[in-house]
Amino acid sequence: MKLTDSYARLKARRPELEAAEAEIALSEAIADLIVDARVRTGLTQAELARRAGTSQARISELERGEANPTVDTLARIAGALGGLLDLGAFLSLVGSANITNSGTFVAVPAQMSFFTSAVTEGAATAASSVAVTQEEGFVLNTPGEVTLAANSELALAA
Amino acid sequence: MGVPAWEVVFADLGEDEDAFDELAEDLTARQVAQVQKQFNRLAQHGPALNGDYFDNVAGSRRGLREFRLRADGVAIRFLYVLRERTFVMLKGYRHSRRRDVDRHAPTAEARLDEWEGQNEAH
């Protein structure tokens, strides 16, 4: 059976493949952001890994789009890249509507659930927006800018 | 992306199942989708894809080769032959040990015999 026909049949049998495809598309978009920022800084993967406190293999994996970073890892990479990681573009991937006001609620599509589950215990939380919207997502606490840091500025909605 | 330059087909196993279905049973949805993307790349680029993706199967009586891919850290191999511009994918499996191929190659070769018999009949 041809590839396209075979995969179409698989998708009909396993509807969860649709969400998996969306998640992979997101991985690849994140990968592009990291590669772009790293190249602009002139860092090697190994140097970025050292600065971010992770392994070169992990950076390579993320740059190939083979995995999604946790919030904590992405925050450390962003810090290591000296602000060149385009977090506005990143948040547009997760469905940010307005990232300039304190308390803005950022809805998180289903395929981003791995981010919410990855936020470390003890992260600041602000659930008021969630109570109104009945959605799952992040609440931005810092007006005027978005800094991706699991334990402070970007809070996980309970 | 334009029309794929190469064809990728999977050995039929009967009862509405082929070699891709068989592999997919051992993989998560995310891994299946990643594998599918790599097959798409194969269809697009063919043998020019990248040397790391391909290897010979030592001692294969039918000239089997293996397509090497990864999905979420899991190593996967797909035994195949290339016939003109068609990759005939015969047997996929999760790779863990070097000797795995010895176990799967006879199955792949038997499927190749069957596939060639069917295609010659047409």
* CATH number, residue B56: 3.30.2310
Specify the CATH number for the domain of residue A83: 1.10.260.40
C-alpha distance from A112 to closest chain B C-alpha (Å): 13
Domain interval for residue A127 = 17-156
Other C-beta atoms closer than 10 Å to the C-beta of B51 total 8
Chain A residues in contact with B28 by the CB 8 A cut-off are 20
Q: Is residue B1 part of a domain?
A: no
Using a CB-CB cut-off of 8 Å, the residues of chain B touching A21 are 33
**C-alpha dist (Å) from residue A54 to A1, A47, A58, A72, A121:** 43, 10, 7, 11, 20
Six-digit token string for B82: 């290339």
Test A1 with B12 for CB contact under 8 angstroms: yes
For residue B41, which of B6, B74, B90 has the smallest C-alpha distance? B6
Contact at CB, B37 and A10, closer than 8 angstroms: no
* Residue A93 within any structural domain of the chain: yes
> Which of B8, B30, B83 would you mutate first to test chain A, the one with the most A CBs within 10 A?
B30
Owning domain of residue B95: 7-121
A25 touches chain B (CB under 8 A): no
Number of domains in chain B: 1
Q: Give the number of residues written for chain A.
A: 158
pTM above 0.80, yes or no: no
Q: How far apart are CA B32 and CA A17, in angstroms?
A: 8
- For residue A68, being part of any structural domain is answered with yes
Whether A8 maps to a domain, the answer reads no
**pLDDT tens, residue by residue, A24-83:** 877 777 887 888 888 888 888 899 999 999 998 888 888 877 777 776 677 788 888 876
Q: Per-residue pLDDT tens for B50-96?
A: 667 899 998 888 999 999 998 888 999 999 999 999 999 999 999 99
Residue A2: list chain B partners with CB under 8 A. 7-9
Decide if B2 is inside a domain.
Answer: no
Can you give the three-state secondary structure of A34-57, one letter per residue? HHHHHHHHCCCHHHHHHHHCCCHH
Number of domains composing chain A: 1
In a domain, A3, yes or no: no
